[in-house]
């Protein structure tokens, strides 16, 4: 999806914005540490050094971790303690996750490190940022995080690269030995000091990063869903009267619903096809998949609003355990528990599946000669000889079925770990991973609907759609072949998905009508 980019993001002791996350994760914006943040890090680190020199055991500084928290570690073993923590926790398995996900979680961990509440040395954070700015991406595995004590394993894979170990890819995406990548960028590996290993791995950064990226995509896809629903309604000679403003905010004041209805009204404005419904059609009401689109996509919008509130609060947080308070005391806490993020990640997956389900129903209606108001079966050129978009709807239905499975919440599950010390976990990482799949699935489903709707609109000639539909037909005509004999459909579908994903669809529509 298209996003506003920026070239540099500055980390201060205050929080960051979702746009900052997108800029770093997707557009390789550089990250700098503000001078006031550096001064605070130095002040806090002095307190950590004093605790390390004391004979009093302090969790995370001079003790073991998790179920081993009661084990005192003598000073001469503490460097090894930090190394062992990171190495042992970098225990992920499965495929490597996406580059943007790794960059997002590294940036968010750096944000917390810069807060002054973790006790990390400024020099260690400088090296962490240097790796991020050099485009070096640690290889993080799909499985390993339970979303409690944060995303331990994914973050440990990143911390391992900071130590000059593990696996990573360079700016070109090619994996090379970590030592070679660091040397090429002029980066010296770090020997971790007391508290630093734990500070580097104890946060909800992986699940939060994926939430922020998903929200950026879903805001755009909600507009895409309004466009495809409106074009499908036009193609089916439906009415725009159910989308009048008087039926929404005054009667059922959900903000998302009103926004969707306004968008659909704008896309269908001045449409001869819609006008034909008012003058020549005896149908009193359209099917639910047309008439109720604002209610369903509007609910997605309102869920996005709630999830954004949670994300914004989390972006302002400083999550670590133990955490250094403003008075330089150190305290154990449970802020690393991923429940708040996990719950909204699961919540979003539900309307994602529902919006896709409704889009599939509109597509099926356009392909069914008994319900399409005069369109040829499956929008085929020579029905029988040609199958048209028959199997495109199969693909769409298969994706919708998968989305329904992905809507089953991950956060209601919990498997105790660490010898029952961590006896309730959030599974937020898994909620994030399935939402990411859900976002991709919704985009593909809407792309299929767009292909069907534009083909149906073209087949209505000489009757024309409104200005927005006409503009989309022209723009998409440069991407796909349009109505005619059957072609290799997989390539066509990929081309339409790219047309949606890179923002061309919404750019085309927004040039004609306000969304």
DSSP output for 94-153: EEEPPHHHHHHHHHHHHHHHTTTSS---HHHHHHHHHHHHTT-EE--EEE---SSSSSHH
Fold of domain 210-510: Fumarase C; Chain A, domain 2 (1.20.200)
**Number of residues assigned to the chain:** 515
CATH 3.40.1010.20 fits 8-203, yes or no: no
- Give the C-alpha separation, 5 to 8, whole Å: 9
Helix (H) or strand (E) holding 490: helix 489-501
Q: What is the mean pLDDT of the chain?
A: 93
Are 300 and 218 contacting, i.e. CB atoms less than 8 angstroms apart? yes
- Give the C-alpha separation, 451 to 226, whole Å: 15
Q: Which of 499, 473, 396, 498 has the alpha carbon at shortest distance from 442?
A: 396
Asked whether residue 2 carries a pLDDT value surpassing 50, the answer given is: no
Across 326-348, b (16+ Cβ under 10 Å) vs e yields eeeebeeeebbbbbbbbbbbbbb
3-state secondary structure of 323: strand
Say whether 210-510 and 8-203 share the same fold.
Answer: no
Decide the pairing of beta strands 323-324 and 8-11: unpaired
Determine the average pLDDT of the residues in 404-417. Answer: 92
| Active-site amino acid positions | 59
Domain boundaries, the chain: 8-203, 210-510
Confidence at residue 3, expressed as pLDDT on a 0 to 100 scale: 42
Confidence at residue 67, expressed as pLDDT on a 0 to 100 scale: 65
Q: 276: pLDDT confidence band, cut at 50, 70 and 90?
A: low
Residue 284: CB atoms within 10 Å: 6
HEC assignment per residue over 365-391: HHHCCCCCCCCCHHHCCCECCECCCHH
DSSP output for 438-468: HHHHHHHHHHHHHHHHHHHHHHTTTS---HH
Determine the average pLDDT of the residues in 166-174. Answer: 97
Decide the pairing of beta strands 137-138 and 93-96: unpaired
Could you tell me the pTM of the whole model? Answer: 0.95
Query: Phi/psi of residue 252, each to 5°?
Result: -145, 85
User: Who's near 77: CB < 8 A, 6+ residues apart?
Assistant: none
Q: Which of 160, 163, 191 has the alpha carbon at shortest distance from 89?
A: 160
User: Taken in order 174, 179, 180, 186, is the CA torsion positive or negative?
Assistant: positive
Are 65 and 57 contacting, i.e. CB atoms less than 8 angstroms apart? no
Confidence at residue 418, expressed as pLDDT on a 0 to 100 scale: 76
Q: 14: pLDDT confidence band, cut at 50, 70 and 90?
A: low
Asked whether residue 394 carries a pLDDT value surpassing 50, the answer given is: yes
């Amino acid at each position: 999806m298209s996003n506003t980019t920026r070239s540099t993001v500055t980390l201060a002791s205050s929080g960051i914005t979702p746009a900052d996350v997108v800029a770093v994760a997707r557009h390789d914006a550089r990250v700098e540490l503000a001078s006031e943040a550096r001064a605070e890090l130095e002040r806090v680190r002095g307190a950590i050094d004093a605790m390390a020199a004391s004979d009093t055991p302090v969790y995370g500084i001079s003790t073991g971790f998790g179920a081993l928290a009661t084990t005192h570690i003598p000073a001469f073993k503490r460097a090894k303690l930090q190394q062992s923590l990171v190495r042992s926790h970098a225990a992920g398995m499965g495929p490597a996750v996406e580059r943007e996900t790794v960059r997002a979680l590294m940036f968010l961990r750096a944000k917390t490190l810069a807060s002054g509440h973790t006790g990390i040395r400024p020099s260690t954070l400088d090296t962490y940022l240097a790796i991020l700015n050099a485009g070096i991406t640690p290889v993080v595995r799909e499985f390993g995080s339970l979303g409690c004590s944060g995303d331990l394993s994914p973050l440990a894979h990143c911390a391992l690269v900071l130590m000059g170990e593990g696996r990573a890819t360079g700016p070109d995406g090619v994996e090379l030995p970590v030592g070679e990548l660091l040397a090429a960028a002029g980066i010296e590996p770090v020997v971790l000091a007391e508290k630093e290993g734990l500070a580097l791995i104890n946060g909800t950064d992986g699940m939060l990063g994926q939430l922020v990226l998903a929200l950026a995509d879903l805001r755009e896809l909600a507009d895409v869903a309004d466009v495809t629903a409106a074009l499908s309604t036009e193609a089916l000679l439906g009415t725009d009267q159910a989308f009048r403003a008087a039926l929404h905010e005054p009667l059922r004041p959900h903000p998302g619903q009103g926004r969707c209805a306004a968008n659909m009204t704008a896309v269908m404005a001045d449409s001869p096809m819609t006008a034909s419904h008012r003058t020549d059609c005896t149908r009193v009401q359209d099917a639910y998949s047309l008439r109720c689109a604002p209610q369903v996509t509007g609910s997605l919008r309102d869920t996005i609003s709630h999830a954004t509130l949670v994300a914004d609060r989390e972006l302002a947080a400083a999550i670590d355990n133990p955490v250094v308070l403003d008075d330089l005391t150190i305290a154990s806490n449970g802020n690393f528990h991923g429940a708040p993020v996990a719950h909204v990640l699961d919540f979003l997956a539900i309307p994602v599946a529902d919006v896709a389900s409704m889009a599939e129903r509109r597509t099926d209606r356009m392909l069914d000669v008994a319900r399409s108001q005069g369109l040829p079966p499956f929008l085929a050129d020579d029905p029988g000889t040609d199958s048209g978009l028959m199997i495109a709807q199969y693909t769409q239905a298969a994706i919708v079925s998968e989305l329904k499975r992905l809507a089953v919440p991950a956060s209601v599950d919990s498997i105790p770990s660490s010898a029952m010390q961590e006896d309730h976990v959030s599974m937020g990482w898994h909620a994030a991973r399935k939402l990411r799949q859900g976002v991709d699935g919704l985009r593909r489903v809407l792309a299929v609907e767009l292909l069907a709707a534009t083909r149906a609109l073209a087949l209505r000639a000489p009757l024309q759609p409104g200005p927005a539909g006409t503009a989309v037909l022209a723009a998409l005509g440069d991407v796909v072949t349009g109505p005619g004999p059957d072609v290799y459909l997989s390539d066509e579908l990929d081309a339409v998905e790219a047309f949606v994903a890179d923002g061309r669809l919404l750019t085309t529509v927004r040039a004609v009508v306000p969304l």
